[in-house]
Structure 1
């Protein structure tokens, strides 16, 4: 599970941002995770309490927004969810597509008290 290492780095990044911006307390950390990324949201949620223990984020709430893994069919130009349709365009049956979203992993928002 590489998610604990990822969360530790996120905590360091958020703490650095908080210090640079004179934030003393934070309420919520919002992450966006693409459904095609190598990071598993439920593992991030599971290791969050350990990663924030004893840090400035200790009393924060974690919110995760999952970004759908969408592709654009190169044949008919339909946008479709790659996982829901087994990476095959539901409109024309093509397997030729361009990735539009779903690989992201980012800190979207830090909500201060």
Structure 2
């Protein structure tokens, strides 16, 4: 489970930003995770308490927003939701499509006092 290591890096980044802005407390951290990201949102939620223990984020609430995976067909240009197991465009049945989004992992918001 690499999510703990990823979260520890997020904590470092957020703590640096908090110190840089001379903030004293963070109330909420919002992460955006794509449906096809290499981190699993439920694992992130489970690891969060361990990652923030003893840090400036220890009493911070974590919110996770899921970014849908979307693809665009290279033949008919149809944009569609990419579900697990997709191999072809649902409109023209072409196997030639590109992933537009859904692999993201981003810090969206740091809500502070």
Normalised to the residue count of structure 2, the TM-score between the two structures is 0.95
Partner residue of 1:46? 46
* Matched length: 113
**Which residue is equivalent to 1:100?**
100
Deviation at 1:86, TM superposition (A): 1.5
Separation (CA, whole Å) in 1 of partners of 2:85 and 2:52? 37
Q: Contact 1:82 / 1:88 at 8 angstroms: preserved in 2?
A: no
Structure 2 unmatched ranges of 5 or more: none
Are the equivalent residues in 2 in contact too, given 1:32–1:67 (CA < 8 A)? yes
Q: Which runs of 4+ in 1 moved over 2 A?
A: none
User: Which residue pairs with 2:26 in the alignment?
Assistant: 26
Gaps of 5+ in 1: none
